[in-house]
Amino acid sequence: MTERYRWIIVALGALLGCMSAGTMFSLAVFLDPMAAATGWSRAGISSAMTINFLAMAPASFLWGALSDRIGPRPVLLIGSVMLGLGTALASRATSLLEFQIVYGLLVGIGTAAIFSPLMATVVLWFDRQRSLAVSLVSAGMAVAPMTVSPFARWLVSEWDWQTALLGVGVLAWATMIPAALLVRRAPATARGGPAAAGAGMTTLQVLRTPIFAVIALTWFCCCATHAGPIFHTVSYAITCGIAPLAAVTIYSVEGLAGLLGRLVFGLAGDRYGAKRALVVGLMVQATAAGTYFFTSHIAEFYAVAIVFGMAYGGVMPLYAVLIRENFPPQLMGGIMGAGSLVANLGMSIGPLAGGLIYDQFASYGWLYIGSFGIGWGAVLIALTLRPPRGAAPLAQPA
């Protein structure tokens, strides 16, 4: 039963990942309709996403540490309720500040309760095929642009943005709460089994090790690279003369490519090692982000979206694998949450930076140039990562 149920955990994780990511990132679909209907600036609306990630940063660590103590199910349930509630309340906002606070904080904190506990749970269920398992869970997030985003686009084309946003929140409740109820904690044998490296260390001691610093800083730069392009490419395509419905399909193509990228890099991580797969993916991501600067036609957007989506989608699950390979299993939730804290700070840069760049220059060009530079910075940092050392003792805290 345990052998079979671990794959059920993967399926549940994919569904929860799809709905949480799809609900939060649906703001990219609402950006233009909201700006047109309310007169709010793009930077102002985009800053709600920045608040999402700033709220997710500390919340990820707290939710992850709590899941180590009480198990993932209660945390996932709380996060699912908060995510739908934040979206529903934000749909009733009457001012930009109210929208920023409600959507930014409630949706951000609710989403944080999904990712870190979920990934920590999955990596503890698997000793073999670990990269593939977390990649399949992460693939749920890649499905979001092909499911939640088109659904949100359809809703906003039929009704006003408030009704459409409320509909997204109700869908989150209807799908995520039942799924969270079925998630189980990994068996005790898995939580205390392989990779007992640093078993006597506390979470704070682990967070002071050089290897965690390298993983976290790489994760930060990686997220700072793709956050802006993910959030603003639909709007960028519209400024290039592409119809809104067609522009949304670029986001969907990115998501579909990300789904494939997660499978490819997951298998590569199991075969060649997570670090090698990560470095290659970061190289491709940085190059593709910079290539967006030269695109203007729909076919060009599709071509770049395929490469970019495969790269950023493929590398994201590998951080969970690196953490599992290097740190004590009983501390997975807290360590994963701490890594997510740093990563979300990186994600918070893109949406606001893109909005400010467009408001200042009436162009997104510098957003993609900046993403290119930060992306290659992530590559250089990742190259300093020492290969996993199995069950060997961790280095003492710095």
| pLDDT tens for each residue of 323-358 | 888 887 777 778 888 888 888 788 878 777 887 888
Report how far Cα 210 is from the mean position of its chain's Cα atoms: 24
Report how far Cα 69 is from the mean position of its chain's Cα atoms: 24
The band of 2, judged by pLDDT with boundaries at 50, 70 and 90, is: low
Question: Tokens 């067609």 — which residue?
Answer: 246
Give the model's pLDDT for residue 368: 92
Give the model's pLDDT for residue 288: 95
Average pLDDT over residues 286-300: 92
Give the model's pLDDT for residue 390: 47
The span from the CA of 175 to the CA of 122, in Å, is 19
pLDDT at 298 over 80: yes
Residue 341: both structure tokens together: 């804290």
Of the listed ranges 58-72, 91-105, 234-248, 384-398, the one predicted with least confidence:
384-398
Average pLDDT over residues 150-173: 86
Residue 294: both structure tokens together: 């030269």
Residue spans of the domains in the chain: they are 2-382
The span from the CA of 300 to the CA of 292, in Å, is 9
Average pLDDT over residues 25-52: 81
The span from the CA of 373 to the CA of 384, in Å, is 18
In the chain, where does DSSP find H-type helix? Answer: 2-25, 27-38, 42-70, 72-90, 96-101, 108-125, 130-158, 161-181, 188-191, 203-207, 210-239, 244-272, 274-291, 298-326, 332-361, 365-382
The span from the CA of 187 to the CA of 15, in Å, is 22
Q: Which fold has domain 2-382?
A: Growth Hormone; Chain: A; (1.20.1250)
Main-chain dihedrals φ then ψ at residue 310, nearest 5 degrees: -60, -40
pLDDT in tens, 125-152: 777 777 778 778 877 776 776 778 778 8
pLDDT at 242 over 50: yes
Cα angle vertex 179, ends 338, 230, to 5°? 55
Question: Which one has a higher pLDDT value, 208 or 109?
Answer: 109
pLDDT in tens, 386-397: 754 544 444 444
pLDDT at 1 over 60: no
CA torsion sign, 37 to 34 to 105 to 90?
positive
